[in-house]
A and B are shown apart, each in its own frame.
Chain A
Amino acid sequence: MAAPMDKVADHHKQKQICASRPAYRQGRRDRAVKVYTVNQESRYLLVQGVPAIGVSEDLVKRFALYGAVQEYRILHEYPAEEFTQAYWVKFDRLQAARVAKRKLDEYSFFGGVLHVSYAPEFETVDDTREKLGERRILIANKTRGKDQRVKQQPVSSQQERPKVQASTSTSTLQTEPSRATNYQEGFPPVPSEVETFPALPAPPQYQWYHPAQHQSQWDIPKVASKQGVFPVDYDARLSVHTPNRNQSNRTNKTLPDNQDEDYGPLIGPHLPSKDQSGDSQEGAAGEAVVRPDLVPRQVMAGRKRPAPPGFFGEALEEEKDSKEKDEDGDEVQKTSCPDTGSSSMNRTAVIVRQKMRQISQTRTLSSSSRSSKSGSSSSSGSSKDTTRRRI
């Protein structure tokens, strides 16, 4: 410490950790060799090493987790290291101070390590008397037996701890006779609501996506699970208006039932027609359930974002008709051919479209659209045209 050492009381200094303990009595935490009796403990704590960056409120909040803090101060005249402050914290109950000290000593707080020690020198005579009396009653209750309780005169003005705590706490606490004493009264009451947390939202449930709910024929084909892929011979191109639906039934887990129904580009098993409700959850064994949000890997391979519904159709239609697509940047990410999955191909297609759009704005529509049909030839052709336009 920078300040003169003789100003600091001995019990505020941190003793050296004992390093020479044999393994059988080495505890979980490293500790110094020290004995704590009722004299050393106090509901006044001294907290050193708090960074001097205006964290009073946060510090007190941290301490208040363990019990009601009656009062706290910054000890400006207390010798502290540079950029740290010493705090004086007064708890309502000794038990809370004990717990706080145990938990927050050597605690990393805003970059500084807290050193928490008891400060019994701040007690008044009455505080000391009360402390000794509480200890006496605690021991008396603990050793005398559970049915005999010593009546405690209310020393502090704390409210009675609600008896509901006795029922909500575990058996560990029920053997604590201190419940009836003043010692535990005023301990921050644990409301019974702690036992019952607010109801969580229901977990996500598998929902049967009925074919009838399927909106548009341009929806992206979906599969039953995240590991799902299209069947090998499934043709997912939406430009092909009659995909090979018979083979689409051969998904990962499917029953060969009712393969004749036409349900659009949806891949999934059929439910028997009696089960028409959309709310039924058919996670039963042997039946795969189509998740309306799961897009197969083949589709996702070349894409950065999931495409909005109908995008495939739009993109494909553009090539046939006029180029009135919006952002170029989106195209790079959104466009993908489900079967090929080749990103370079996609990028090429996007670049082609961009250039064609530029051209179409100055030239006639028909001439540019025809030249854009092919892939590489159009790029070479357009590069000549757009040389002048390159910035």
Chain B
Amino acid sequence: MSQTCAPDTSITLQLLGQVLLHHLQLLVAMFSSQEYLEKKTGQSGVGRLQYLQSLVTEFQDTDKEDCKEQVLANLANFAYDPINYEHLRKLNVIDMFLDSLTEENERLVEFGIGGLCNLALDKQNKEHILASGGVDLVIQCLSSRNEETVLNAITTLMFLTTPASKPAITLLSVVECMLRFQLSKNSRLSNLATVFLEDYCSRQQVEEARQAQAGDAVGIALPAEPQQT
């Protein structure tokens, strides 16, 4: 593609852009549709459910840690697209994610909470997580040393908030933790904490937490601060 600023180049670019965008919408949509999946894998290909099934099987059967990590990350990425939710529910992948939160391997925790963060907005998934006591597990992730884990945990808590679960999610210790995060130099962390405090906690709760913090209570530990410019 010519890089000069000739007018004909810009027209070509414009047309190219239009065509490209058009194709992009076909090929690189935010989410896949059933037709897209069929087109991609073909009639004789492995179906989505089968593929997910084989991933789950591998996760259960393998002993190698990096295989588990790879499979978990793969499933967590699948959890981004709602078209897979039915399959994931059928295969009990949500429980798999919840179980991985208690693993010692930090990467497994990171991928598990990432998967939950991707899934948690769907109503049925939400109910399943809440019924399985996921809130406590997620709150435990807030004290991880891994930045991504913490960020995903905050977001998952936000997504899991329902009128029923709100009291469990906006515990005093959690709100205190968020106040500390808000002061962090990590802008991602402070942004998320701010959104949590402003949108998901009542003023009263925030006030209570502030007062409790003034008393120098040791609640949930901050994650290790990554060096930022």
> Contact check: which of A58, A98, A99, A129 meets B199 at CB < 8 Å?
A129
- In the complex, which residues of chain B have a beta carbon less than 8 angstroms from the beta carbon of A9? 226-229
User: Nearest chain-B residue to A78 (Cβ)?
Assistant: B229
A120-B188, A143-B123 known; A173 vs B26 contact (CB < 8 Å): yes
Most buried by B among A35, A123, A171, A183: A35
The answer for the CA separation of A369 and B192 in the assembled complex, in Å, is 100
The distance from the CB of A37 to the nearest CB of chain B, in whole angstroms, is 4
The answer for the CA separation of A132 and B118 in the assembled complex, in Å, is 11
A136-B159, A172-B35, A175-B34 known; A61 vs B13 contact (CB < 8 Å): yes
A102-B28, A132-B195, A176-B33 known; A121 vs B186 contact (CB < 8 Å): yes
Which chain B residues numbered 170 to 229 have a C-beta less than 8 Å away from chain A? 186-188, 191-192, 194-195, 199, 226-229
> Contact check: which of A110, A140, A142, A171 meets B35 at CB < 8 Å?
A171
Does A95 count as interface, using CB distance less than 8 angstroms? yes
Whether the pair A121, B228 counts as a contact (CB closer than 8 A) is yes
User: Nearest chain-B residue to A137 (Cβ)?
Assistant: B121
The distance from the CB of B225 to the nearest CB of chain A, in whole angstroms, is 11
The distance from the CB of A10 to the nearest CB of chain B, in whole angstroms, is 6
Does B168 count as interface, using CB distance less than 8 angstroms? no
Whether the pair A194, B22 counts as a contact (CB closer than 8 A) is yes
A25-B55, A35-B110 known; A77 vs B229 contact (CB < 8 Å): yes
- In the complex, which residues of chain A have a beta carbon less than 8 angstroms from the beta carbon of B159? 136
Whether the pair B31, A35 counts as a contact (CB closer than 8 A) is no
- In the complex, which residues of chain A have a beta carbon less than 8 angstroms from the beta carbon of B77? 35-36
- In the complex, which residues of chain B have a beta carbon less than 8 angstroms from the beta carbon of A38? 117-118, 155
Whether the pair B151, A143 counts as a contact (CB closer than 8 A) is no
Whether the pair A143, B122 counts as a contact (CB closer than 8 A) is yes
Which chain A residues numbered 148 to 196 have a C-beta less than 8 Å away from chain B? 169-173, 175-176, 178, 183, 188, 190-191, 193-194
Whether the pair B16, A65 counts as a contact (CB closer than 8 A) is yes
Give B residues with C-beta under 8 Å from A: 3, 5, 13, 16-22, 24-26, 28-31, 33-36, 46, 51, 54-55, 58, 66-67, 69-71, 73-74, 76-77, 80, 82-83, 85, 107, 110-111, 114-115, 117-118, 121-123, 147-148, 151-152, 155, 158-159, 186-188, 191-192, 194-195, 199, 226-229
Q: Which 4 A-B pairs have the closest CB atoms?
A: A35-B114, A139-B121, A175-B33, A128-B191
